[in-house]
Structures are given as structure tokens and as C-alpha cells.
Amino acid sequence: MAGSDEETVEVGMNEERRLCGLAGDDDEDNMDEDRAALFGATADDAIPVDGDGEHVEEPPAPDGNTAKRPRPSTSPVWADYEKLFKEINGKTVRYGARCLHCSKVYSGFSSGGTGHLSRHILVCVKKREKDRMSQSQISFTSDGSMRTWDYCPMRARTELVRLIARLDVPISLGESEAFVEYIKNAHNPKYTKVSRQTTSRDILKYFTDCKAKLVETFTTSINCVCLTSDIWSGNAKEDYISVVAHYINSDWQLEKRVLGLVLIDVSHNGQNIADRVASVLADYGLSEKVFAVTLDNASSNASAMHKLKPILSKYLGLEVIDESEYASSSLNNAVNSIFLHQRCACHILNLIVKEALTTLKPLIETFRTAISFLNSSNQRIAAYKSYCIATGVRPRKFQLDMEVRWNSTYLMLKHLFPHKSPFTTFIQAQYPRDKGEPLLLTEDHWMMAQKVLSFLELFYDATVTLSGVYYPTSPLMIHYLVKISLHLKNYANDVHIRSVVQPMIDKYNKYWRDIPLLYSFAFILDPRAKMKGFTRVLRRLGNLTSTDYSAYLVGTRARLADVYNKYDEKYGAVRLRRTDPPVLSGKSRSAWDEIYDDDGPVLGGVILPGNPNMSRDTSATSLLNAVRSSASNASELVSYLDCDTVNHLTDDFNILDWWHQHKLTYPVLSIMAKDILTVPVSTISSESTFSMTGRIIEERRRSLKPEMVEMLTCIKDWEAAEARLQQNVEDKELEEAFEELYLDS
């Protein structure tokens, strides 16, 4: 409520008279107001209002008579004015009206009428300007009904920000003559151009608003986040470090958000990396909500995680140790610890495959030479196009691979094979060679390339699958450890491939013979596996890698109970009630036959002998003792592991949905499962951020400041997240780079 010291805008004699309660010269004649000026106020003059300002009532008359009944202000003119009030004789009285458009103040006593207010609205310059900028159109709603749509300049500027971020167009787009002409001619004739400076301020405002909403989500709805991070060196000679958060929302759906893309213009050592990651986390209030961080194998990342331990170990109050330290300790040591630093599985796959490609380099170089020869001149491409048309084959060019990305080598061969015949014939006819020199491409080359392509297919599929964004990838790792181990074992006897297999096996054993606990926990928390499936899968892995996993099995079970106890300490209060686990039936078992074959470990049709060290006593008595010795209050965990496994073994099974549906049965364990299933096993999400950044900092936009680069990157990612379009961005673009090369399109 405004007091008598309200600020007014003096606009002339008439307004001054109205502020004193008198009529202006241009007001309608009002005999009551003239009478009040000569003879004083009566009961019909001032009309006080109650506390909410919505109704007005008359003050008591001097002779003590009661006031009239309250009545509302019904004039439509009040939609454009703010009512001003003050105290008169202990009553709240409306004395003025402030224009909502130009802020001028006029007399507002009820006895003065509203004619002068209506006349001002007709001539108010500010209101007329707003009306001029407002363009009403008829639009249709989803049900087919019509409604009025108003053009809003501020909304248009906001949408321009989104357009610039999503399409990587220049910030000056809004003031370019071509864009202004297009909008005026096709959409809004009254559109006015938006300068680069204004757009920059709008980008900052939009980024700040979106960031505030994201911070609120993290504060109110999210228990923890898992991070990925990587460093990118761009063409502008500027290096950036990305910080990407993965989390499960309140609807139990996986989400991904780029939190920061920070310039790192100093040495890429552990301290500098840790400082920038910690700064981003503090900015979003996530320093005490980090469950795991997935990084590649760079030594600077290991150093950074060592620096970040004191900051990131507060989520459950756990002692955080590195996998390397943990691998050298005993699993039976009952230390409450969890693995904060996860190594990128796709990076390890890359190291494994590169062991093969190093040996196969002469073969790969032959195909690179042939493709380079075809692409070296426009005349040669035109000649190949004519040859393809003459032979009834759709003509196309072929993309060279990138040596630093082995999956591009796989795609190069994959897209070349359907054109084997015309490509070989053309190269043999056109490629220059000396007399007696062998042909560049022979049938032996193609036969060997076919073997290599088949061999690499599993690794490519694994990389794509483990790079997923909207489904848990951690439960899939045990499956791929079995598949890859079996794949290498089968090709170890292939006469053409066996020379490259042993180095790959050595690299596999270096990183994955000691199975990371995260993979085991996630596999056990898949209700189709539990301890029954985990016991069987370890037996198979033991035979494939000649490893005894008996102690690991018992220790993993005990450590799982230790971690559950920590969750029970933190979240035990959510246990309002528990329901009995339902009896579940499932569909086809085919996808899990290799795990649940009771006749023995059958993998890919190969029957493997059982491991005598992995006896059934290990999976029963020893495990039961491990449970009893580790915790007495792990009732939810024991109940979950004791129940039968879910038989829904088809690909459409949704682990997160299952835990969401059973969160009342397992209130604490479901939170633990949610956190573990959130962890991404690869850093591809961070690398896809760099794919976006490369387009943002292109040749025409080198002058962008690092702060603007970060804002545009975040906005673009957040827009894609709202539409759930972040899935495998980089792999999709890489695939398209090899596909969209037809010469007749």
C-alpha cells in the first residue's frame, strides 16, 4: 500500500489540481466535487477501501451514521492504472491513479470520476507505442478453435537467441539485412532489427534464466549426479574443458546436461583440471552431490581426481579411493568405500582395437590409397560417375577415415564393400603402375578386408551401445566383457586374424581382468541377474580369461552390503512401508541364454568346462556368510537378492522402470540402484560437446569470447535435452559423413 510520499510525475496544472483533489480544466463537470471544495467533505465524498484494495467503502458520517455497503471499482479504465491510497481520518482512501504505461499520476478520488483517466489512455504516448508493436493475429489451437495471437517483440528476441544457439549462426543475424527483409516480408512487417549487442545481452539473460531453473532442479529433485569430463583443443588454438552431468529425474528418466565449457589456457595438469571442475560444480551447488566421475586414461585425470577427492567424497561420507589403489587391496577388507573415478570403457575399447590396426596398417593403407586416388581430381570423379551410370550402379564418392578414430576406419570399409565390383574395376583400369607391378587392389585384399570388417563389428557395436545417453550403460558392461572375451578367443585360431588377437587379449586383461566393482554392482542390481546371474557370468569369464573369481565373488557381495549400509544410514528415513515383492513372469529368454543355461556355460555355441574353483558352495554358503558378517540391517538387500530373478529377458525391459515400480518395496535400495545405474561408462557425452563447440567456434566466429562460447554450447545442449535429441550425436554425424556421398543427389 502506498503512503502519502508516493512519487508523482508532474505534467502540468491540471495534474497538480487533480493531486489536490480538484478537477482539472479538461475534466468532465462534476457538481459534487465543486460542492466539496466550497462546503467541505460529506459522507458522499471520500470512499475508503478495505485492506486488500479491491473494494471501497464510505467513512462514517460526522453524526455517527454507518457507512454504505462496500462496492467494487467496475470501470474498465482501471486495467491501465495502478490505484494509489493514503490514510484519511484513520481510513484508507484511494487518492490517485498511476498510468501503467507512462507512470504519470492523476487524481483518483472516487468522487472525481474516471473521465480524465479515460482521456489520458487515448493519448498516452507509451501505450500507443506498445499497441503499435503489438500485432494481433488469429491462430488455431490443438482442438481447432480460434484464438487471438499477439506478436511480442521480447518473445521474438528470446526465440532469436534459441535459433542462434541451435543453428550455430552468427550473433549478428538479427541485424543482417537479409534476415530483417525475410522476417518483414514473410512474417511481421513491423519487425525491427536487433543489434549484436542486444542479442548478446539476450543470450546472457536466457542462459542465466535457464541455469537458475537447472540449479533449482538439482537442489530440489536430484539426489546425486555423475560426471564426465574431457579436454578439447580447437582450431582457434584455445583449449576448453567440458563438465557434463548425468542424472535421473523425478520421473526416473536419465538426463544429461552440459554444465560448463571452461577455457583452460594453462598447463593441463591435475591441479588446473581439478580447479576448473570444482568451480563449475560449486556454481551449480553440486559439490556434495557427485557420485562418480568418468574420465579417460590420461595421467592428468588421475592426478585431478586425487585433488578432487576431499571435495567429491561428501555425498555419502564415504572414503573414496582410486581403482588402482583398490585393486591392490583385499576385497574382504570391510572398508566403506566406493569408486569415484571410473575409466572410460570406450577409450579402453579404442586402445584394444588400435593394437589390431597397428598390425593391419599396410592393408588399411592400400584402401586409403585407392580412395585418395579416386578423390584426387574432379575429372576422375566425373569419370567414375559415368562408369557407374553405364553399369547401372548408383554413383557415389568415398570418405577417407581418420587415423585417430578407429571407428571411422570401420565405416570406411563398411561403405566401400557394397561397391566392391565397380570400384575395383575402375581403380585397376585407371591407377598407374609400372610393368610387372601388382595391381593396387586384388581379391586377397578384399578377402582380408572382409575378415577385418567382421572382426571389428562387435567393437563398433559395443562403442555405440555403451555411448548411450537415455538408458543405463553400467549394467551392460559385464555382458560386453563376456562377448569381447569370447570374440577374441574365437578369432585367436583364425589363420588371417590370429596375429593381431594376442596383443588385444593382453590389453583386455590389463584393464578388465580385474572387473571394476561398478560393473558388478550394476549387473547385480539388474533384477534379471542378481547374484544367481552374477555367479554364472563370473564362471564364464573365469574360463575365458583363465582367472579364478571365487574370492572376487564373495568380496563383491560383502562390499555391496557395505555400500548399502551407507545408503541406509543416509536414506533410512524414507522407509515408510514395504510391500512384499511381487511374483513376476517374463518373455523370451534368448538374450540371456548364455548366462542361464543350466547345462553349463554355453557361449556362442562353444561349451566351456566348469571352473572347479567356482563351486556351488562359493555361490551359496560363502555368500551367505558374507552377508551375515557384513551387516545385520541389510534386510532390503537380502530380500532383493533372495527373490527369484525376473524372467523378462527381452530388449524392451526397462531397468529404471522396474526400480521405479518397486521403490516402495525397496525404498533405500532403489535409491542406491538409481545412483549406480546413473553412471555412464564412457565419456562420449563430453566428446559430443566438443563436436558442437567445433561448429560454434568456426572460422567466422573466432572472435567469440570464452564466456559466449560456453553460453551458446550450454544453451544448444539444453535445447536438445528438452527434445531428448542428445543420443549418440557424434556417432550419428560420423555415420552420415560416410553415407551422404552419392553423386546423383
Q: Which DSSP string corresponds to 324-356?
A: HHHHTS-TTS---EEE-EEE-HHHHHHHHHHHH
Residue predicted with more confidence, 48 or 685: 685
Which residues have a Cβ under 8 Å from the Cβ of 653 and sit 6 or more positions away? 528, 646
Neighbours of 719 (CB within 10 A): 15
- Answer yes or no: is pLDDT of 49 > 60: no
- The single-letter code of the amino acid at 256 is K
- The single-letter code of the amino acid at 517 is L
pLDDT confidence tier of residue 53, bands split at 50, 70 and 90: very low
- Give the span between the Cα atoms of 182 and 198, in whole angstroms: 20
Residue 42, pLDDT score: 44
Percent of the chain with pLDDT over 70: 71
Residue predicted with more confidence, 461 or 613: 461
- Answer yes or no: is pLDDT of 451 > 90: yes
To the nearest 10°, the Cα dihedral for 261, 267, 271, 277? 0
Long-range contacts of 420-426 (CB under 8 A, 24+ apart): 420/446, 421/393, 422/384, 422/387, 422/388, 422/391, 422/393, 423/370, 423/374, 423/398, 425/387, 426/374, 426/383, 426/384, 426/387
Contact 354, 459 (CB under 8 A): no
- Give the span between the Cα atoms of 307 and 301, in whole angstroms: 10
**Mean pLDDT in the chain?**
79
Residue 202: in which H helix or E strand, if any?
Answer: helix 196-220
Residue predicted with more confidence, 321 or 300: 300
- Give the span between the Cα atoms of 557 and 640, in whole angstroms: 13
- Give Cα separations from 713 to 34, 97, 225, 576 (angstroms): 67, 47, 20, 43
Residue predicted with more confidence, 627 or 260: 260
For range 469-477, the mean pLDDT: 94
Neighbours of 582 (CB within 10 A): 9
For range 55-77, the mean pLDDT: 52
Classify strands 105-107 and 91-99 as parallel, antiparallel or unpaired: antiparallel
Residue 139: in which H helix or E strand, if any?
Answer: strand 135-140
Best CA proximity match to 3, nearest among 85, 104, 97: 85
For range 227-239, the mean pLDDT: 79
3 state DSSP class of 105: strand
- Answer yes or no: is pLDDT of 66 > 70: no
- Answer yes or no: is pLDDT of 702 > 90: no
Instruction: Please write the tens of the pLDDT for every residue from 116-144.
Output: 888 898 888 777 766 665 555 666 666 66
- The single-letter code of the amino acid at 208 is T
Residue 731, pLDDT score: 54
For range 332-336, the mean pLDDT: 36
pLDDT confidence tier of residue 314, bands split at 50, 70 and 90: confident
For range 185-193, the mean pLDDT: 86
Which residues have a Cβ under 8 Å from the Cβ of 145 and sit 6 or more positions away? none
Residue 477, pLDDT score: 96
pLDDT confidence tier of residue 437, bands split at 50, 70 and 90: confident
pLDDT confidence tier of residue 727, bands split at 50, 70 and 90: low
Which residues in 606-617 are b (16+ Cβ under 10 Å) and which e?
eebeebeebeee
- Answer yes or no: is pLDDT of 739 > 70: no
Percent of the chain with pLDDT over 90: 48
- Give the span between the Cα atoms of 216 and 326, in whole angstroms: 36
pLDDT confidence tier of residue 604, bands split at 50, 70 and 90: very low
- Give the span between the Cα atoms of 701 and 703, in whole angstroms: 5
Residue 118, pLDDT score: 87
Residue 71, pLDDT score: 57
Best CA proximity match to 53, nearest among 94, 108, 111, 109: 94
- Give the span between the Cα atoms of 113 and 659, in whole angstroms: 66
Residue 648, pLDDT score: 78
Residue 151, pLDDT score: 76
- Answer yes or no: is pLDDT of 621 > 70: no
- 3-state DSSP: the chain helix, strand, coil percent, rounded to 5? 50, 10, 35
**Distance in Å from the first CA to the final CA of the chain:** 69
- Answer yes or no: is pLDDT of 590 > 50: no
Instruction: Please write the tens of the pLDDT for every residue from 488-514.
Output: 999 998 988 888 999 999 999 999 999
Residue 701, pLDDT score: 59
Best CA proximity match to 107, nearest among 193, 38, 219, 6: 6
- Give the span between the Cα atoms of 442 and 26, in whole angstroms: 101
Classify strands 225-233 and 290-295 as parallel, antiparallel or unpaired: parallel
pLDDT confidence tier of residue 298, bands split at 50, 70 and 90: confident
Best CA proximity match to 478, nearest among 512, 439, 506, 435: 512
Best CA proximity match to 459, nearest among 534, 536, 371, 355: 355
Contact 529, 523 (CB under 8 A): yes
| Highest mean pLDDT of the ranges 103-107, 196-200, 634-638 | 196-200
| Highest mean pLDDT of the ranges 92-106, 398-412, 443-457 | 443-457
Residue 235, pLDDT score: 60
Contact 149, 137 (CB under 8 A): yes
- Give the span between the Cα atoms of 166 and 179, in whole angstroms: 16
Residue 85: in which H helix or E strand, if any?
Answer: strand 81-88
Q: Give me the residue label for grid cell 568380496.
A: 555
- Answer yes or no: is pLDDT of 520 > 90: yes
- Give the span between the Cα atoms of 278 and 113, in whole angstroms: 63
- Give the span between the Cα atoms of 267 and 703, in whole angstroms: 23
For range 517-530, the mean pLDDT: 95
Phi and psi for 134 in degrees, rounded to 5?
A: -95, 125
Q: Give me the residue label for grid cell 490514510.
A: 87
- The single-letter code of the amino acid at 295 is L
